[in-house]
A and B are shown apart, each in its own frame.
Chain A
Amino acid sequence: MMRSNSKALNQAPLRLLTAVATALTLAATASRGADDLRYNRDVRPILADTCFRCHGPGVQKAGLRLDTREIALKPTKSGAVPIIPGKADESEIVRRIFATAEDEIMPPPKALKPLSAEQKNIVKRWIEAGAPYERHWSFEPPRKEAPPSVEGPNFRINNPIDAFIADRLKREGLTMQPEADRETLIRRVALTLTGLPPTLQEVEQYLGDTSSKAYENMVERYLFSPRFGEEMARHWLDVARYADTHGLHLDNERQMWPYRDWVVRAFNDNLPFDKFTIQQLAGDLLPNASREDLVATGYNRCNVSTSEGGSIDAEWIFRNAVDRTSTMAETWMGLTAGCAVCHDHKFDPLPAKDFYSLYAFFYSIAGPAMDGNALLHEPSLKLPTAEQEAKLAALDKQLNETNSEIAQKYQALAYNDPAEVAASAPEKPADDPLLSLRVWLKKGGGDQAKDAPADLKPLLQQAKDGKLNADGEKRLREHYLKTVCTTTKAQFQPLIEKAANLSKERTALDSSIPATFIFREMPQPREAFVMLRGQYDKPGEKVEPNTPAVLPPLQKAGARASRLDLARWLVSPEHPLTARVAVNRLWQQVFGTGLVKTSFDFGTQGELPSHPELLDWLAVTFREGGWDVKGFMRMLVTSATFRQSSRVLPDVLKRDPENRLYARGPRFRLDAEQVRDNALYVSGLLSLRMGGKGVRPYQPPNIWEPVGFSGSNTATYQADKGEALYRRSLYTFLKRTAPPPYMANFDAPNRESFCTRRERSNTPLQALQTLNDVQHFEAARALAERIVVEGGTTPQDRITYGVRIVLARKPDADELAVLQEQCLKHLDRFQRDVEAARKVIQAGESKPRPGLPEHEVAAYTLLANTLLNLDETVTRN
């Protein structure tokens, strides 16, 4: 958190402007009509790139500042008026940019930023049209414009997305690629929607479907697969910063996987995004909040926490609230609000007061500031199943019955202390403490004192010292007669044992019931203040919960705004950001890059959208369509834009290396989890069991150990056994200070904070992992066994089968020849070296299938290892 604060604290305005300027190029569009000029899209990029550096918020040479209309319309030091709306020829900046004399022309030649004739004319025309400035684009409400009509043989329009994309392509002089072949498409769709490749049966079904709706039918199957929720959740959990440890200092385990499972269910049940928002941000405040509503509030509890000695409560209440506020702002609004923790945001209209007004919504969580290094950090919620609940009730009932039976028996008990015989009695008074309460008391419990319950021990001492009061004597008497006295205890013993067993059973059952962190409000909210310069102990002005002034006003249900009001405000139709930010992330998930590439920043430092009209159209459509996430995903993957071949021609690659114009289909490397899940799935090893506590798959030694504190319960890593090794990566235990290397290696975030866009690196270390890591190599062995058992008898048939499983397509003749040549050499070698073959097939914990020729399995293991390492395999093509 502190990191992002400081980031903005230090940003030199000039450099930022450059960054903004940089970001604009893609948005700059091909020529448009004069009446179509827009400040944000057409004019600001020119000014930002060439003028603001010396005449902007940072520096105002000659007293000239062009980024603010009011100032730009006033005379500068020289008396000249930079901009006179409607009178371009009288405006000083027009005179200067069209000047020819070296000491007149702007920008000055030494800046090496000459304006093109077209740029000069845009500025001129804009001033002629009244020089209308616009607010930053993302604060204006999205406008749903009619999709352009585009025609031509090179454009296929399946839905409005394609119209917007094609319109831009046409203006750029580019065309769409033809549709990809069916094998590519089904794999692309399956990986996009479920994170797993298609099975052979699914491929065959699709290829065999001759109906005109074959593609749509195929898409439906994946949209309604339970795997859909898992894949969607994976992306959301990056945003929500979900992990299985606290993240700081000891980095101990925490229990909130029920929240993770809630997210999976929410996507599978197609919970509308507005409800999805409200439940996570304020489920606890909903009327009659259900258990699910409460579990959902775990979103607000995923922040890192600490219990390090010396930590100050006030500081951590502050820091946790800052984290929750910033994460909320980035998740739903794409605002890097963290900057305003220390000062007014320098580039976005977010004063510190607005930040702390948002923060006030999150400042009054019930429960301690410190996590206590415990599994559960209050507030939390127990989540028994109905069966567990019944069992608990039954145990409680039995326990009660047993206890009252004991009480009754004790009531009925007649005990005469044998030490209290009449002086006249013939027998001597007893002196055995096991027979006489009085003797036992006098001896302070004697030999049995050490076995007495802790709360009775002081009483025994008092008895010994003769200082026992009546109440103490009563308690000791009961204990004595029930458990010590030889003549009475026998009748209690079985009952006491029964009660102890019941109570032990209850404790065991209770502790087996999972719980999860939730958010609850304190009965009396804390007063919140602007914290001066972001210091937890420097309260300034008092603030009430409220939303930023630059955005539409908040509707309050009560006198004091609640988190529920905030959540409803976010998904209200007036909000300019929420829908845009949400659809942009979904677009990014499907196409690899957002329409706004900086999907974490829709502020002025972020990039402009590559297709602003499309983004707005999508945002409004999503909102008006009831925030239907599945429906939205369906629209994206059924677009012709998505269905294009990803083949790229060299000249298009030069024009658009990042495929921001979509003149080809998306093609990019699988994410970390997908790389592993894919290998496990095609090999048949993957367990599709859903939900539950995080599992610990294979991990090389010395990942946790070097960073682990010795007192931490996650200091040493012990891999699980059996099925847990093969669960989907979504369920891998995530230790924040030492994330699983198979994830980090492929750019998965460590979940310490919000992450909305992963990098996609391409490194030799990734190659080494997929070649050599036991989980990939074991998968290769299992795949080899499938190939040998199911794939026929000839190498040709088997290789073909292997390629079909892995790539959803048949190999061509050349590929087959390459693989066959390789395979025969492996076969030959392992036939000669059975010892090596035996080692090869022993990889991992799962045992090789019995009865298969070892040299064959070994040879096909290397073949399968090859298939699993193909560029095509680790890529969504």
Chain B
Amino acid sequence: MHPIFEHQLLQTRRQFFGNVGLRAGGIALGMMAAESGARAATTERVHPPLPGFPHFTPKAKAVIYLHMNGGPSQLDLFDYKPRLHQFFDKDLPDSVRNGQRITTMTSGQSRFPVAPSKFKFPQCGQSGMRVSELLPFTQKIVDDIALIRSVHTNAINHDPACTFVMTGHEIPGKPSIGSWLSYGLGSESNDLPAFVVFTPAWPSSGNGQALFTRMWSSGFLPSRYNGVALRGKGDPVLYIENPPGVTSTDRRLMLDSLRRLNQREFDRLGDPETQTRISQYEMAFRMQSSVPELVDLSNEPKHILDLYGPKATTPGSFSHSALLARRLVERGVRVVQLLHRGWDQHGALPTALKNQCEDTDQGTAALVMDLKQRGLLDSTLVVWGGEFGRTVYSQGTLTPDNYGRDHHPRNFCMWMAGGGIKGGVVHGETDDFSYNIIDKPVHVNDLNATILHCLGIDHEKFTFKFQGLDQKLTGVEHAKPVMEIVA
């Protein structure tokens, strides 16, 4: 914990609870009502930013990170390779593979036959960006997105790659990007967590890999910066309702007393965890009002629900989560992460990938369009991508209509839109086989540096002293934001 920052944070919190909160259990309620639906004024924040943050005027205030878990095929979605058809079922030239490692899942194959994408890639929008026919809705937002075709990562399997893309390290124990952001920038919402996570349902045809809570956990940062997962079914948040007979007023009365006693405990022992607990109880109380309000879609007009598609009102669906993501950002939440599973197409890729796209495409595009029409896209960064890409050579059966693809960390596609990002831009280039990057590589650390940059943070200066080292999200090797796509 950075001692000076932490001290100042504690002071701020102490003032809030000591001077405002204690006298005014009632005021907290009133304040909450007044703030509902609006971003709280900075001066009244429960979770203020660190001193000196942001480092410069940010383009974006919030991030919505759409993580397509399993490794979406760049070859079938965004990395258009028209010349591949000549190579159908021919061996991937050794000069391309160049002895690179492959996973154990295909390393035993006797040959590596090229599988061209069976999908069409029409030119779309003003920019003429090529996007697969599997993503008809995304095709409509190309002029708002910057497509990076040259992202690369260190890891070749799911667990380390997921950990890496979200925490900048393959070894568990480091904070997730959402935790870093809520630590540095605090929250503009006093009644919702700074960092909210959805794990929506995915098509049964999808090969669902496990998710790891470390993808939204705070690592060595204080645990209050953990992402809070909202449930698709049942209460959106477990135990959110008071027991029968207990009203919100009863609860407030009780929590006032609890807070005063906990504050005495802190004064006695000085353990910062006690301070965290005080703030988490207050957050819990506010969530009891804010969460039901958040998930109540009765005021969303029909045209908005239509925009998100037929599953917009189905709890636990991707579209529903996307709609809630917009509502969260509107309410001042700093980071929203949607982790959609099932993108690990080792076999029968065309069918399964189509289902994955159908499950997410409309909600994804709707989110960008909806943010835009509300004027929120300028201040919200939307990120789309997985943990790695997929191989040009087929795993298992190969016919023109059926193939599978193995993990490929050497290049994959991600896109960003909104806050601080140029629209209609394509960055980076891969070879004819989408196997090697030939221009403008973007390492996952560079990507994360770019996200921080959009939020007004110099990633080099965003450190946390832990175990004697100045830890960074972006690792020890030099990372740099991709300025070419920043507006």
Q: Contact residues of A with B, CB < 8 Å?
A: 2-7, 9-12, 14-16, 18-19, 21-26, 28, 53, 342, 533-535, 537-538, 605, 607, 646-650, 653-654, 657, 667-669, 700-703, 705-706, 741, 745, 759-769, 771-774, 777, 814-815, 818-819, 821-822, 825-826, 829, 835-843, 858, 862, 865-866, 869-872, 874-875, 877
Q: Chain A contacts of B91 at CB under 8 A?
A: none
A-B contact pairs, 12 of them (CB 8 A): A6-B159, A535-B108, A607-B467, A647-B269, A648-B271, A765-B239, A766-B280, A768-B287, A771-B281, A818-B260, A819-B261, A866-B261
Contacts A767-B284, A768-B238, A772-B241 given; indicate if A22 touches B469 (C-beta within 8 A).
yes
Contact B257 A866 (CB under 8 A): yes
Contacts A646-B271, A653-B272 given; indicate if A7 touches B160 (C-beta within 8 A).
yes
Q: Chain B contacts of A25 at CB under 8 A?
A: 467-469
Q: Chain A contacts of B284 at CB under 8 A?
A: 764-765, 767-768, 771
Contacts A535-B108, A814-B264 given; indicate if A649 touches B257 (C-beta within 8 A).
no
Q: Chain A contacts of B234 at CB under 8 A?
A: 700-703
Contact A769 B476 (CB under 8 A): no
How far is the CB of A263 from the nearest CB of chain B, in Å?
Answer: 27
CA distance A769 to B232 in the complex (A): 18
Q: Does B47 contact A (CB under 8 A)?
A: no
Instruction: Please tell me which stretch of B129-137, B246-254, B292-300, B373-381 contacts chain A, meaning at least 4 of its Cβ atoms lie within 8 angstroms of it.
Output: B246-254
Listed from nearest, the 3 A-B pairs whose CB atoms lie closest are A25-B468, A839-B245, A6-B157
Q: Chain A contacts of B240 at CB under 8 A?
A: 768, 772
Contact B271 A26 (CB under 8 A): no
Q: Does B228 contact A (CB under 8 A)?
A: yes
Interface residues of B in 166-186 (CB under 8 A from A): 169-171
Contacts A654-B3, A877-B269 given; indicate if A769 touches B239 (C-beta within 8 A).
yes
Q: Chain A contacts of B269 at CB under 8 A?
A: 646-648, 667, 877
Q: Chain A contacts of B242 at CB under 8 A?
A: 771-772
Contacts A6-B159, A647-B270, A761-B217 given; indicate if A829 touches B243 (C-beta within 8 A).
no
Contact A840 B160 (CB under 8 A): no
Q: Chain B contacts of A24 at CB under 8 A?
A: 468
Contact B160 A648 (CB under 8 A): no
Contacts A10-B170, A15-B476 given; indicate if A815 touches B261 (C-beta within 8 A).
yes
How far is the CB of B109 from the nearest CB of chain A, in Å?
Answer: 11
Contacts A646-B269, A826-B253 given; indicate if A10 touches B262 (C-beta within 8 A).
no
Contacts A7-B159, A825-B253 given; indicate if A647 touches B268 (C-beta within 8 A).
yes
How far is the CB of A141 from the nearest CB of chain B, in Å?
Answer: 27
Chain B residue, CB-CB nearest to A341: B104
Contact B257 A774 (CB under 8 A): no
CA distance A812 to B272 in the complex (A): 22
Contact A858 B245 (CB under 8 A): yes
Contact A871 B274 (CB under 8 A): yes
Contacts A535-B108, A653-B272 given; indicate if A3 touches B159 (C-beta within 8 A).
yes
How far is the CB of A351 from the nearest CB of chain B, in Å?
Answer: 18
Chain A residue, CB-CB nearest to B220: A658
Q: Chain B contacts of A11 at CB under 8 A?
A: 160, 170-171
CA distance A535 to B266 in the complex (A): 54
Contact A21 B270 (CB under 8 A): no
Contact B239 A773 (CB under 8 A): yes
Q: Chain A contacts of B243 at CB under 8 A?
A: 772, 774, 777, 840, 843
How far is the CB of A716 from the nearest CB of chain B, in Å?
Answer: 13
Chain B residue, CB-CB nearest to A660: B467
Contacts A3-B159, A12-B154, A700-B239 given; indicate if A862 touches B233 (C-beta within 8 A).
no
Q: Does B438 contact A (CB under 8 A)?
A: no
Q: Does B156 contact A (CB under 8 A)?
A: yes
Contact A648 B270 (CB under 8 A): yes
Q: Chain B contacts of A865 at CB under 8 A?
A: 254
Q: Mark B206-217, 1 if CB is under 8 A from A, else 0.
A: 000010000001
Q: Chain A contacts of B316 at CB under 8 A?
A: 706
CA distance A835 to B246 in the complex (A): 11
Chain A residue, CB-CB nearest to B260: A818
Q: Which of B226, B262, B277, B469 has the most CB of A within 10 A?
A: B277
Contact B477 A840 (CB under 8 A): no
Contacts A11-B171, A818-B260 given; indicate if A533 touches B107 (C-beta within 8 A).
yes
Chain A residue, CB-CB nearest to B105: A535
Q: Which of B193, B238, B260 has the most CB of A within 10 A?
A: B238
Contact B244 A839 (CB under 8 A): yes
How far is the CB of A4 from the nearest CB of chain B, in Å?
Answer: 8
A871's partner among B156, B256, B278, B467 (CB-CB below 8 A) is: B278
A10's partner among B161, B253, B261 (CB-CB below 8 A) is: B161
Contact A763 B228 (CB under 8 A): yes
How far is the CB of A177 from the nearest CB of chain B, in Å?
Answer: 10
Contact A649 B1 (CB under 8 A): no
Chain A residue, CB-CB nearest to B277: A871
Q: Chain B contacts of A535 at CB under 8 A?
A: 104, 107-108
Q: Chain A contacts of B155 at CB under 8 A?
A: 6, 10
A15's partner among B7, B170, B246 (CB-CB below 8 A) is: B170
Contacts A706-B233, A765-B228, A768-B240 given; indicate if A342 touches B467 (C-beta within 8 A).
no
How far is the CB of A589 from the nearest CB of chain B, in Å?
Answer: 19
Q: Does B235 contact A (CB under 8 A)?
A: yes
Q: Does B331 contact A (CB under 8 A)?
A: no
Q: Does B350 contact A (CB under 8 A)?
A: no
CA distance A815 to B218 in the complex (A): 33
Contacts A761-B226, A822-B253, A866-B257 given; indicate if A669 touches B239 (C-beta within 8 A).
no
Q: Chain B contacts of A762 at CB under 8 A?
A: 222-224, 273, 276-277, 280
Contacts A654-B3, A870-B258 given; indicate if A764 touches B281 (C-beta within 8 A).
yes
Contact B171 A826 (CB under 8 A): no
CA distance A741 to B234 in the complex (A): 13
How far is the CB of B460 from the nearest CB of chain A, in Å?
Answer: 10
How far is the CB of A602 from the nearest CB of chain B, in Å?
Answer: 16
Q: Does B87 contact A (CB under 8 A)?
A: no
How far is the CB of B47 from the nearest CB of chain A, in Å?
Answer: 12
Q: Mark B455-477, 1 if CB is under 8 A from A, else 0.
A: 00000000000111101000111
Chain B residue, CB-CB nearest to A843: B243
Chain A residue, CB-CB nearest to B272: A653
Q: Chain A contacts of B476 at CB under 8 A?
A: 14-15, 18, 53
CA distance A764 to B191 in the complex (A): 11
Contact B280 A767 (CB under 8 A): yes
CA distance A773 to B235 in the complex (A): 12
Q: Does B158 contact A (CB under 8 A)?
A: yes
A22's partner among B270, B278, B466 (CB-CB below 8 A) is: B466
How far is the CB of B285 from the nearest CB of chain A, in Å?
Answer: 8
How far is the CB of B233 from the nearest CB of chain A, in Å?
Answer: 5
Q: Does B265 contact A (CB under 8 A)?
A: yes
CA distance A53 to B218 in the complex (A): 27
Q: Chain A contacts of B273 at CB under 8 A?
A: 667-669, 762, 871, 875
Q: Chain A contacts of B475 at CB under 8 A?
A: 15, 18
Contacts A6-B159, A706-B232 given; indicate if A840 touches B244 (C-beta within 8 A).
yes
How far is the CB of B404 from the nearest CB of chain A, in Å?
Answer: 16
Q: Chain A contacts of B237 at CB under 8 A?
A: 765, 768
Q: Chain B contacts of A837 at CB under 8 A?
A: 245
Q: Does B9 contact A (CB under 8 A)?
A: no
Contact A862 B246 (CB under 8 A): yes
Chain B residue, CB-CB nearest to A4: B159
Q: Does B84 contact A (CB under 8 A)?
A: no
Contacts A26-B468, A764-B228, A767-B284 given; indicate if A836 touches B156 (C-beta within 8 A).
no
How far is the CB of A761 from the nearest CB of chain B, in Å?
Answer: 4
Q: Does B283 contact A (CB under 8 A)?
A: yes
CA distance A771 to B272 in the complex (A): 21
Q: Chain A contacts of B468 at CB under 8 A?
A: 22, 24-26, 28
Contact B233 A702 (CB under 8 A): yes
A764's partner among B103, B241, B287 (CB-CB below 8 A) is: B287
CA distance A706 to B226 in the complex (A): 24
Contacts A700-B238, A866-B254 given; indicate if A836 touches B104 (C-beta within 8 A).
no
How far is the CB of B198 from the nearest CB of chain A, in Å?
Answer: 14
